[in-house]
Amino acid sequence: MIKKLSCIFSPGTDPCQNLALEEYLLGLVEPDECILYLWQNQKTVVVGRNQNCWRECRVTQLEADGGQLARRLSGGGAVFHDLGNLNFTFLMPRADFDVEKQTEVILQAVRSFGIPAERTGRNDLTVGGRKFSGHAYYRTDRACYHHGTLLMHADMEQMEKYLSVSREKLQAKSVDSVRSRVCSLDEFNPDVRVSTLETALLIALSEVYVLPISPLADERIERDALDALTEKYASPDWRYGRKMPFEYELDRRFDWGELQLQLHVENGRIADAEVCSDALDTVFPELIRTALCGVPFEASAVRAAFAAIPAAEAQTREKTLQDAEALLLEAM
């Protein structure tokens, strides 16, 4: 049960520093504590943990224009951040993680401006069917976080310029462009600004959890450890992902998300594999990579490899693995 509420505001707009602080807070959160972290990035595309950044973002154009590419720990799809967007992260022990309750904080804050916000599906918040907030989740053995965007007055032209959303994904959302499926909160109330929205979020957090909020003490953060995490998020290997030669590339969109498989085959065996996806589940791509590497490139061996993957924790992962197996077998 949550007995302590803490809040922290990012001191800067560098995505590598902000994502590093987010991961650091995940390891810092105490039993029975909920930390609300509020942060902003300047001109950044953030891709999900297992996404192919070159397919999701016009990286060359973004960087030529002075923007940055970043990669987060959680799954899900690519998002564009600028100073017209406010990011939130709830961090707490696994036993106290409650998506419904955390989402209620966001909804209550936005509704305090007279905006009829509602939850649509598992991880989107909308007004009139248009999305202003997308959410993703990450967990360790002891703690979890729930984070997302809040579009206040985002630059829609730049969002469409830098995000490379597949036609299949747009069709699945029944829209023609990135811009047509999102909205900014100041369209509905011009009083929505960073300062007013931050205040509304803190009020809503205190009301939903029925507890006072205290600023997170500076002395709880060990700067050398935070700097080491920042280096990780700034490294090219983390941001861009690894490159490997491949002879086979397969991709398809399923009801749970997009999947891309790349296989490097030598002497009749799968020597290496890359699995990219915008699914919220961050674990299954590594399960598939591990299962396939070294396996003969033939249908019976691939079936056996998938059958040997440890039992899924949830039906969603079981379905994901079944779809991945079927996609690969179709090409053999």
pLDDT score, position 172: 47
Are residues 215 and 95 located together in one domain of the fold? yes
Residue 8 shares a structural domain with residue 98: yes
pLDDT at 177: 44
- What are 225's two structure tokens? 């450890």
CATH number of the domain that residue 232 is part of = 3.30.930.10
Structure tokens at 147: 């984070």
Q: Could you give the 3-state DSSP secondary structure of residue 279?
A: coil
Q: Does 228 lie in the same domain as 127? A: yes
At 167 the pLDDT is 54
pLDDT at 315 over 70: no
Distance CA 278, CA 295 (A): 25
Nearest C-alpha neighbor of 56 from the set 166, 176, 168: 166
DSSP-assigned letters across all residues of 84-147: TEEEEEEEEEGGG--HHHHHHHHHHHHHTTT---EEETTTEEEETTEEEEEEEEEE-SSEEEEE
Q: What is the pLDDT of residues 67-82, one digit of tens each?
A: 999 999 999 999 999 9
Does 175 share its domain with 196?
A: yes
Average pLDDT estimate for 132-160: 95
Residues 325 and 305 in one domain: yes
Domain C-terminal end among 197, 221, 240: 240
- pLDDT, average across residues 99-109: 97
**Does position 175 have pLDDT exceeding 50, yes or no?**
no
Query: Which one of 240, 261, 280 terminates a domain?
Result: 240
Residue 130: exposure state from Cβ atoms within 10 A (0-12, 13-18, ≥19): middle
CA neighbor of 170 nearest in space, from 158, 161, 180: 180
Side-chain-side CA neighbours of residue 253 (13 Å)? 10
- Chain center to CA of 63: 21
- Which amino acid, residue 27? G
What is the residue range of 103's domain?
4-240
Mean pLDDT, rounded, for 2-9? 98
The stretch 177-187 carries a mean pLDDT of 79
Q: How confident is the model at residue 171 (pLDDT cuts 50, 70, 90)?
A: very low
Q: Rounded distance, CA 263 to CA 189, Å? A: 50
The CATH number linked to 299 is 3.30.390.50
pLDDT at 176: 45
Residue entry with tokens 């696994």: 94
* Residues 6 or more apart whose Cβ sits within 8 Å of residue 65: 43
Judge if 76 and 116 occupy the same domain.
yes
Q: What is the pLDDT of residue 122?
A: 74
Confidence of residue 180 (pLDDT cuts 50, 70, 90): low
Residues 217 and 173 in one domain: yes
Same domain, 324 and 189: no
> How many domains in the chain?
2
Same domain, 229 and 253: no
Domain boundary among 240, 265, 290: 240
Are residue 232 and residue 255 in the same domain, yes or no?
Answer: no
Determine which of 49-53, 162-166, 323-327 has the lowest per-residue pLDDT on average: 162-166
pLDDT score at 318: 87
Q: What is the mean pLDDT of residues 82-102?
A: 97
User: Cα(first)–Cα(last) distance of the chain, in Å?
Assistant: 51
Q: Is 189 helix (H, G, I), strand (E, B) or coil?
A: coil
- Does residue 28 sit in the same domain as residue 115? yes
245 C-beta neighbours (distance < 10 Å), count: 10
Confidence of residue 284 (pLDDT cuts 50, 70, 90): very high
Take residue 60 and report the two structure tokens written for it: 């060359």
- In this structure, the answer to whether residues 100 and 30 fall within a common structural domain is yes
